[in-house]
Amino acid sequence: MSGGIAAYKAVEVCRRLVDAGAHVSPVLTRAATRFVGELTFSALASEPARTSLWGNDEPIPHTRLGQGADLVVVAPATARLIGAYAAGISSDLLTATLLATRAPVLLAPAMHTEMWEHPAVVDNIATLRRRGVHLVGPDAGRLAGGDLGYGRLAAPEAIVDAATALLAPSRNDTRGLQALVTAGGTREPIDAVRYIGNRSSGKQGHAIASELASRGADVLLVTASELPGPPGVEVERVETAAEMHAAVTRAAAERDLVVMSAAVADFRPKVTVAGKLKKADGVPEVILEQTPDILAELGATRRPGQILVGFAAEALGPGAQPEERLREFAEGKLRAKRADLIVANDVSAPGVGFAHDTNAVLIVTADGYHVPVPLADKGAIAAAVVDAALAYGSRRSSPPGR
């Protein structure tokens, strides 16, 4: 708890977490103790409340608390707490614990609308999100002093639901698997300000990285997207096809599963003009050249046993038998790239592909399976892709008849 008027609702959060079977170690900032009593939490939680780095019965409480936690929930999280955490300043027990933990962190912000919308808070929240910190709320509603607006602490049951979801036991069926996932659309510079890009958002690739990590895999995500890195995923940010090529080439040999969900540019300007092309100099001629085909290169050079998944975005448009055309297209790509699985989608269909939160795909495998996955959110599609890759891997390691 940090010090906001909403701290009284943390009593309810604490009680519900204890009821749900959690071991709750309460930590209050000094300001929080002005709103709620330390004793209340000591009585309700699983161990006495702590309020200070100093004067405890143990010399370094923050490391025990941080290292021992499966989840750290900060409710309410004030603007000050959010700022200190984003800046890595550990001036009290709560911020020190936040820096000493590798567990997922869930923040439930609560503050006045003006503070929540202040550029400093907006930036700090963006920074924390990028680092994989989870948020619940804030909601709109009545604030301290009777004002109405955005910034109200999420309801205790919503905070507990979010905590429970983060603690849900994972399937762990990718435990020990070394995975590499690419995501986003590359940008190929024309000059210092312009680039050739594409409409890929990176949502599907990030969802796959997140799915693999939540099921136990060790995941490196090479991304050209600005989306936050999913929790527990190592992230390498790149911009161009050349940078993605270098990052993937460095990492691929060590990986058991490579999922190339990035929309890598097929062509790039042959030269990047230093500075900015001037309109007054007339219409420039931009000569393009081919980029390295990363997936095809991996397909040609990979070690036996590695599973290689490629994506194929097709704009089928209107016409007969779209499913068959998509399958033929995907199977062609499977052979051309020597991949094990191709995840194909028709980006011209409603709700499918680039920038949407939903997708519909057809997964084809090198051993002749096709798995159509109807329109679903990108998390569900990610789960289907991971399932298909694992099933393919187990068929390959124990072929029928052996």
Binding site for ligand C5P (CB under 6 A): 241, 260, 262, 264, 266, 291, 293-295, 310-312
| Cβ neighbours around 164 below 10 Å, total | 15
Query: Are 143 and 115 spatial neighbours (Cβ–Cβ below 8 Å)?
Result: no
Contact 24, 70 (CB under 8 A): no
The DSSP secondary-structure symbol of 346 reads E
**Minimum CB separation from ligand C5P for residue 241, in Å?**
5
Residues 371/343, Cβ–Cβ less than 8 Å: no
Give the Å distances, CA to CA, from 212 to 175, 243, 359: 9, 23, 18
What is the smallest separation between the CB atom of 132 and ligand C5P, expressed in angstroms?
24
| CA dist list (Å): 27 to 47, 76, 337, 367 | 10, 12, 54, 55
Residue closer to ligand C5P by CB (options 92, 346) is: 346
Catalytic member of 172, 198, 345, 359? 198
**Displacement of CA 373 from its chain's centroid (Å):** 22
Nearest distance from C-beta of residue 348 to ligand C5P, angstroms: 15
Query: Which of residues 17 and 339 has its CB atom nearest to ligand C5P in the complex?
Result: 339
Question: What is the separation, in whole angstroms, between the first and last Cα of the chain?
Answer: 59
Q: Which one, 293 or 377, has the nearer CB to ligand C5P? A: 293
Task: Spell 253-271 as b/e; 16+ CB within 10 A means b.
Answer: eebbbbbbbbbbbeebbee
> Which CB, 66 or 299, lies closer to ligand C5P?
299
Measured from the CB atom, the residue of 71 and 246 that comes closer to ligand C5P is 246
Kindly state the smallest distance separating residue 2's Cβ from ligand C5P, in Å.
43
Judged by beta carbon, residue 53 or residue 244, the one nearer ligand C5P is 244
Please give the backbone phi and psi of residue 275, each rounded to the nearest 5 degrees, phi first: 75, -160
- In the complex, the smallest distance separating the C-beta of residue 49 from ligand C5P, rounded to whole angstroms, is 51
DSSP label of 50:
B
Cβ closer to ligand C5P: 86 or 265?
265
Active site residue 172: no
Separation between Cα atoms, residue 160 and residue 20, nearest integer Å: 9
Strand order in the sheet with 134-135: 72-77, 105-109, 134-135
Q: Minimum Å distance from CB 23 to ligand C5P?
A: 44
User: Least distance (Å) from ligand C5P to the CB of residue 331?
Assistant: 13
Q: At a CB cut-off of 8 Å and minimum separation 6, what does 145 contact?
A: none
Cα three-residue angle 265-349-226, rounded to 5 degrees: 40
Catalytic residue positions?
198
